[in-house]
Structure 1
């Protein structure tokens, strides 16, 4: 049976030319993409010097690659050993009256239960020896302080899990922790107190800040009920005020004016910082060309894997050996090998077609069309993608 992996000599771990953010978070192709990523990594690292959390809003066109960027930032911040605990989460499909606890509960559920228990246990050891402040002095709310101190150190996973759910705004019986605790947390001040407590403990125990990558945050625009909108705005104000919390929101929006109204309010923009609203612009022709050349050089067994992508590759995928059959197909010609699986003229035409329209000039569209072209070549038993195939694909759709 034909497979794309064998037909086009893909490296181990790749079954097609599609790059999935969830399975390939360490790969980010194109000089322009990497410069934007490196800028954000630099901002994250700079904030870490004072054990502060970097806050930003990253926006751009749909299909531009923001999800891939967010997961790549998570990968690289961990790989580079930055002083952060990187956490990725995606916004839900909120309703007009969605309570803020829907989002805040995600913030807490994405934390490792074992890690939270470890940090809490170590923190209260520091408190007992006078090396850290009592958690009540940090959160300023008695119910939150009691739950954190009494519920997060226990060896019973179910109790710790229920405590985290209660801290996230769920209605959970807490009689095992303390009989006087309220039914559930609902107020922005309470959510802010929870996050202040957690971030403070991580900073004191591990010297790290919690860094959340909040993807598809354009869904915040669904919050339209006037009282609910006010509650969400107040909650975001509380979170963006926390020094030890990092929060980078990724939003599908063509312009800054199209951002969710919550994030355009003066009180939020002032806390995030106008300079930290970062636009992710669509690539031009040269950017698309650069993106594709780098992608093909990484996925296909053409020799040396580009240095920037080696940390994301498995050991068996790093081989620089060029298969004999691939050398035969390209005639051992460096230019033909560089553009494989395209023929050189077909590659240039492919780039022109991708860069030609507003709807197509995105990395996601380039990968879709590349996959279609590769599939067409295989159906026609052609070892390479020629100009006729590129023209055929270009005429499909709109």
Structure 2
């Protein structure tokens, strides 16, 4: 059943036809069973003709009602399609530095779309892809607990008191086991003599914006160690880790060039280590600063690799002279049938030779089991580092130019909230 424009219900199809011709059917059936006189034939015939005509009119009315209803439905769909929708708001990408700014930009974009606002970009304006910082570089939006606040206070006070200590772990050649250079590993000693590893105090310094200051202090101490090794006639060099926060800070890499200019005798004796993530996200300014350091003779190293996808030639052009890869990752991939990591990259058994052709020496780090050593030798790894050879050991404060700061007032009774570094 349908409804016409006057809101009157109307039947459709077979029901409508049966209702329209019902009088004609009744008159035809009555003429066969009811005897009629001669004077009644014409009136009955006329009434039958009128019933048939009435049935045709009813069918036409039903058809017209259905046509009007269908037209109204089509008109409603066309009107919905013509309803203006809020245009898509095009906003130029911005470089954000905190989660709050990201949420603010999203809120502005959503409100602009609701009111139908349009932002027209100039024809000459070139849209650059949005650059978002590494997730680990974003500050935490979670409220710190009282224990975490106390921990941050202890670390900050120890850093301000310059209680940074350096431990050296040797990198040896395979299979001879001869020391080739050292990696400087920083530790932070709290006022209660708790010794912290970088994973325990670096996040706090990074959140407070002191990562670059920390890296400069460690580099200056490492340069003093390298100068001590040169004075003893040793050919060993010293490698220093740079945090991702420091590298991302504008002008930090350029400041290192000025620092090396003050000690030209140590050029080539200090290796700057950068993470794989940092090497993969260098912008034009970073590349220019690295090129300046490379021209001065500062070698670089790729550290903390998460996978085995790399281009040896491209890394050599950037000045990379050493590459550190986890020993367990190298061994596990080598045990596969094709010796590949996850795609068309080089066979892990060819890594050492491919890097050597580009002037890069492979270092297997975190070698913690004796059975790893012969497997690494079979892979042609020239250098290795780990507890199997030697653990990080502290150096004398006077060698690195460290100052024995006095115990700050008010920290004698501070609770020990951090475990001791191993």
Task: Give the TM-score category using the shorter length.
Answer: under 0.3
TM-score, normalising length: structure 2: 0.25
Bigger share in strand: 2
> How does the TM-score come out when normalised to structure 1?
0.26
Q: Which has the higher helix share?
A: 1
Larger Rg: 2
